[in-house]
Every structure is written in structure tokens, then in C-alpha cells.
Structure 1
């Protein structure tokens, strides 16, 4: 067959003449390369791409053009604000016959990072960090927002205080009539009774998003993750031996935190970032529900 194939997106008129804010595709699989400092890895990403359709008489956009342009994102160079802006501009340019002026892109992926054990030399494991990147070019204004999810452990300060009180009262009851108290007797008592009450702790997560300018050389994903983990002090571990588990228990004991404490700690660690937002969630072991907190930028005394 040598006949030209029909393209009704060009030849047919939309049944209802109205502009559309966004049109495109979601969940496109593609490889992307992330290079940051010593980290370099090709990751599986899922992309959402859309352009605006301001011309009411145009029936539909050219999906295949967006798909082909998106395929270039994983080729030849690593992800960066500059490469994202270039792609968005190319998406707009490819749809001039639709009077398109805006484009946006979303990427979901998981950054796989090797983390060492706390104490044991030569022991390490892999940790996966969910990442979301949202970039847009709207009326020639480029925006890029990077969101990461970081897991950590949280031990309840209230529960710790209540546990200490039980141990304190039990200790006084055991040694009230003994004078002087021998250190060896105290050590023996603690060995048997120090865990008669233990504070509850739980796996927790921080969802953090920041803006990245198009002048930045990289997206700064790994650096952002490191800032968050250092702020909470108790990131979840990968490979552990008993000595590492003991060290992690000590970290939790020295970093008691309510959900409010965690949100404030992380927010304080992000002073060098633009427009940071923090959402923390403690998956309670005491309750069947979660404890949550948000920290977002303030504008004129009101949360943005």
C-alpha cells in the first residue's frame, strides 16, 4: 500500500471547541542515568509527559512525538536540570502546530545506594530510596522539584520516660534497704531487670521535596538524602551483625523523637535548599494509626 495514512488529529475538528490544560501520557518505562559525585547508575524510571493544547479547534496532540523525544532523555548524558529543560523545550517546539506553549514532565524511580554497616568493617548492603522529579516549562519559566523518601527509626520520648520511671521505682524497691549499694549488685540487677519496660519505636519515613534551579549541575538527589539521614540520626540499616544492631540501639536511645521533633530536625537541615517541604510519618507500634507532621515554607506568617 502506497497511499498516505490518515491523520485525523490534523484533518478532523474537535467535536467540542475548548482548550485543554494538559494532554499526554503517563507511566512510560525508560532508563535514565544518574551521576552525582561518586555515584553513577542507570535506573528504571517511569515518566509522565504532557503539553498544553490551547487551540480549541485542534482535535489531538502528537503522542508519538513526545514519546520519541522522551526516549532521548536516557541517552548520552546524565539527568540534570539543563537536560530536563532542553527536553521540555523540545516538547513545546514539536507541537507548534497545536499552538503549544507549556510542557511538564514527571519521573518516578528508585535510587539504589550501597550503605556500610555501622561498625563491622567490610559489611554493607543496598538501600532503595524512592525519588520523584517534577519539571515544567510554563510561559518560558522553568521549575524543577526533587522529592525523596527516606526511612528511619523513631523511639518515642514519652514512652522512654515512662519506661525509665518503672525501672527507677523497681530499682529503689530492690535496694531501698541495702546500704551501701555495691556496683556489682547494681550491675547484676540491671542485667536482669533493665528491660522490664522498654520504649516503643517504629519504622518511620520522611517525604522531602526541594526546588532545584536550572543552573545546578546535578539534581542533588544523594546529597539531599544524606542531609535527611544525618538530621534524624537513625536511618534504617541494611546488613547488620550483633555489634551493628547494638550500635543502632544506642543511636535510637540517643535520638528520642516525636514526629514533631523529626520534622523540625529535617527542616533545620535544609536551610541551604530552596522552598523545602517536609512530611514525616511514624508508623506507630503503640497505635493502629500513624503519627504525622508537616513542615512547609512560611509566607507572610502563613504556611505555603
Structure 2
């Protein structure tokens, strides 16, 4: 029988916060009751390594991804994480999943259909039996500068904005908003959504919509936070304007938790 070196005792007395595998690319299907898509996910599986253990069993982590995450339903992640902790014989474990998702977008005038890709991140953790899940969606909108519109004789500078919304879940409600809902919420922020397929009539409508709805990066962060607070959903919002006339980006962020804050 081959020796199991990872199970050797360690006498240095140092607990390691995170040990495991990172950047594992693996086929998976994402399904959450609203969206079903297949693709390649990127997985991190991490555990805390007690001070008396020399190593962890990283092959088991790949096996866990194969056995339990070939199909991902965020609503089932509390059970999956309990299996991870049991398989690794540990009371603290974390699984991070990143994959793109695509939503159908209809051009505003021509009515043409195309797909808009967004980035989805799922960060599941279990510690001493307590489960948490952070669902993060990142996509883009158009923002038009209110200052530029006010001070200019005509026109106003605009740009694309990267918007990330992270929603907090627990075992009782692991997935309080699905990915599609978050995408739609983000697309409703800013000055105008972005569209993958644009004809000239669409471009005209998009340009005028943005001009009629100017928004600073601060405005977008606050509006998104208010919308999430109205749903009593814990969240973090991060926005980065890819400024078109400046040599820097403009950024804003806000976080809120229902247990420690109130609306307003």
C-alpha cells in the first residue's frame, strides 16, 4: 500500500487559512430555475488546514467538482458544501465558481434579438456548519455625464460602465435574487443599457435615451443600492466608468446588510 504523505502529522503548529486548488477549468451546466446554460466553469476549492496536518487531499477536490458541480444550482449549494466539508474531513471550506452567462437582448427599435454576455461568480462557504453564498453578476451599461450635458452647448460625453452587483445569501435563503434578475436590474441602471446588435434606428434611440437620462457613477451606485434595499437583500455594488474623455476611470461602491442597516 502506498504511503499517504498528506496525512502525516505536522509539528510546526501553524494553521493554514486556505489550501486547495485554483483555476480548475471544468465543464458544467448552470441552472437556477430561470436560466439553463452549459459551458466551462472556473473552480476554486479551498479548505482550512489544521495545524497538525501536513497536507490536504487535492485530488478529492477535483473529484468533488466532477461529482457534485457538473450541474450547478445555487439553491442546492448548502447541501453541496456540507458534502465538501464531510469529504475533506474539515469544518471550513470554500468553493468559488466563475462562468459567463448570456441573456437575450432585443434592440430597442429594430426588434432584433442577440445575446449579451455577463460574468457570474458564486462564492460558497461553510464554517462550523454555517453556510453563506455570494452571487455576483458583472455586466455593462452606458452612462452619460450630467455635468458634461449641463455645461455643453450641445452633446455630452458618455462611456460604458462596468457594474458588479454581489448579493448575499444564507442557508435559509441561499439565492435571494437569480442571475437574470440581477442582470435586468443592472441594465435598468445608468443612462441606457448596452446592446450587442444595433442598427441605425437603434443607435439613434440609444443615443437619445442616454442623453435624456444622465447619471454619475455615484448616482448609479446609489440607485442600485436603493433598489436592492427595497427588496431587503444584502449586497455590495461596485461601478467603474471607463471614462471617454479622462485618463482615469471613475469608481463608486456601496455595501449594505439588512441585519445592521435600514432603508434610507
Distance 2:92 2:247 in 1: 44
**Partners of 1:110 and 1:129 within 8 A in 2:** yes
Distance 2:107 2:67 in 1: 38
Work out which of the residue numbers 250, 253, 257 in structure 2 matches 1:291: 250
Deviation at 1:251, TM superposition (A): 1.1
Work out which of the residue numbers 134, 143, 159 in structure 2 matches 1:145: 134
Aligned to 1:175: none
TM-score between both structures, scaled by the size of structure 2: 0.90
Deviation at 1:39, TM superposition (A): 2.6
**Partners of 1:31 and 1:74 within 8 A in 2:** no
Distance 1:293 1:142 in 2: 29
Work out which of the residue numbers 16, 22, 26 in structure 2 matches 1:30: 26
Distance 2:68 2:102 in 1: 20
Aligned to 1:280: 239
Distance 1:118 1:39 in 2: 23
Look at both structures and tell me which one has the larger radius of gyration over its CA atoms. Answer: 1
Equivalent position SS for 1:251: helix
Distance 2:40 2:207 in 1: 34
Aligned to 1:7: 4
Larger relative strand fraction: 2
Aligned to 1:240: 198
Distance 1:294 1:45 in 2: 27
Aligned to 1:110: 100
Deviation at 1:233, TM superposition (A): 5.0
Work out which of the residue numbers 171, 190, 193 in structure 2 matches 1:214: 171
1:3-53 Cα shifts (integer Å, max 9, x gaps): x2222123x433623222221110111223222455311121101101122
Give the unaligned 5+ runs of structure 1.
167-196
Distance 2:125 2:198 in 1: 42
Aligned to 1:183: none
Work out which of the residue numbers 48, 64, 82 in structure 1 matches 2:44: 48
**Partners of 1:133 and 1:146 within 8 A in 2:** yes
Q: Does residue 257 of structure 2 align to residue 257 of structure 1?
A: no
Deviation at 1:214, TM superposition (A): 3.1
Give the unaligned 5+ runs of structure 2.
none
Distance 1:297 1:7 in 2: 46
Mean Cα deviation higher: 253-262 or 230-239: 230-239
TM-score between both structures, scaled by the size of structure 1: 0.79
Distance 2:207 2:221 in 1: 21
**Partners of 1:112 and 1:127 within 8 A in 2:** yes
Residues 36 and 62 of structure 1: is their aligned pair in 2 closer, same or farther, counting only changes over 3 Å?
Answer: closer
Aligned to 1:89: 82
**Partners of 2:190 and 2:214 within 8 A in 1:** no
Equivalent position SS for 1:285: coil
**Partners of 2:32 and 2:73 within 8 A in 1:** no
